[in-house]
Amino acid sequence: MTTPAPTPSSPPLLGRTAIVTGASRGIGLAVARGLVEAGASVCLTARDPGGMRAAVGELRGLGGLRGRITGHAGSAGDAAHIEACVALTVKELGGVDILVNNAAANTPFGPLVDIDPDAWRDAFAVNVDGPLRFVQCAWRAWMRAHGGTVVNICTEGAQGVGPNIGAYGTSKAALLHLTRQLAGELAPTVRVNSVSPGLVRTEMARFVWENAEPQIAAGLPMGRIGEPDDIARAVLWLVSGAASWITGTDLVVDGGTRVRAAHITEPAAGTGNGADYAVHERLRAHRG
């Protein structure tokens, strides 16, 4: 199937090509869906081939004028997978204009003082090395000659500290720095930004929000936890022409999590004090 030529009424990303890592569910799937709906050709990744194939099938079923959709199973912490994925995307979709580094590991869990340094390499391999390798491969294979844009999915929590999530938080803080460093290095050819979500209703964060949503929502200025589409809309805007003068920035999409201390709230009956940070209470109580 050839990609239709863009016209003034075409979807905004028609003719563009994208890779979204960790796109079989959650935020990655919502981002991939948004890109497909905007007309882009998209390559999805995830470790589980079955989950990835199901997501590819779901997106191929979307109507409208759209590009091609493919998938490549593997870990964002595996250098060979990354090289193959970028090469496949260039071959099958015709380029890599957009890269969304979304896949992440939130383990090992627990106080850093007790963590096996070899185990915390897992978090860094997926959350830091992987995004860097993806950018390097995409730059060499396509973006250096054709330009492009990168969005790294970080976390609102990377600006602070939290109970038991030191490995995840430290690696995401490194990803924030990597974003700024690469933005300076690759401008003006490639824009590199990040999106930092607050708590979002996905599998990765289920252990935090499940059975605690009223308490958590009561402490959030916007009164609810996030949905994957809240994050996808921010990513879609950052990769669009509307953000053409923006690089090296972090767009926090957190329902006001960071400004909660100033929020004047009347806690709903049975939800406790809305000023408490229920997310940290949940992380403190969780046993890995």
Ligand X SMILES: NC(=O)c1ccc[n+]([C@@H]2O[C@H](COP(=O)([O-])OP(=O)(O)OC[C@H]3O[C@@H](n4cnc5c(N)ncnc54)[C@H](OP(=O)(O)O)[C@@H]3O)[C@@H](O)[C@H]2O)c1
Interface residues with ligand X (CB under 6 A) are: 21-28, 45-48, 51, 75-77, 102-105, 126, 153, 155, 197, 199-200, 202-205
In the complex, minimum distance from the CB of residue 259 to ligand X, in angstroms, rounded to a whole number:
17
Smallest Cα–Cα separation from 41: which of 103, 82, 95, 87?
95
The conformation of residue 110, written as its DSSP 8-state character, comes to B
In the complex, minimum distance from the CB of residue 71 to ligand X, in angstroms, rounded to a whole number:
11
| For ligand X, the closer CB: 3 or 179 | 179
Distance CA 183, CA 234 (A): 18
In the complex, minimum distance from the CB of residue 226 to ligand X, in angstroms, rounded to a whole number:
7
CA distances from 248 to 41, 124, 179, 209, 251 (A): 25, 21, 6, 31, 10
Contact 153, 134 (CB under 8 A): no
Q: Which residues pair with 44 in a beta bridge?
A: 20, 71
Smallest Cα–Cα separation from 14: which of 43, 38, 31?
38
| For ligand X, the closer CB: 14 or 31 | 31
In the complex, minimum distance from the CB of residue 228 to ligand X, in angstroms, rounded to a whole number:
6
Which one from 110, 168, 172, 274 is the annotated catalytic residue?
168
The conformation of residue 242, written as its DSSP 8-state character, comes to G
| For ligand X, the closer CB: 11 or 22 | 22
Taking the CA atoms of residue 208, residue 210, residue 216 and residue 220 in that order, the dihedral angle to the nearest 10 degrees is: 90
In the complex, minimum distance from the CB of residue 279 to ligand X, in angstroms, rounded to a whole number:
9
168 among known catalytic residues: yes
Distance CA 77, CA 80 (A): 9
Distance CA 149, CA 183 (A): 10
Contact 56, 30 (CB under 8 A): no
Distance CA 238, CA 19 (A): 15
The runs of H, that is alpha helices, within the chain are: 26-37, 49-60, 79-93, 117-124, 130-138, 144-146, 166-186, 206-209, 213-218, 228-239, 278-285
Residues annotated as catalytic (active site), given as ranges = 168
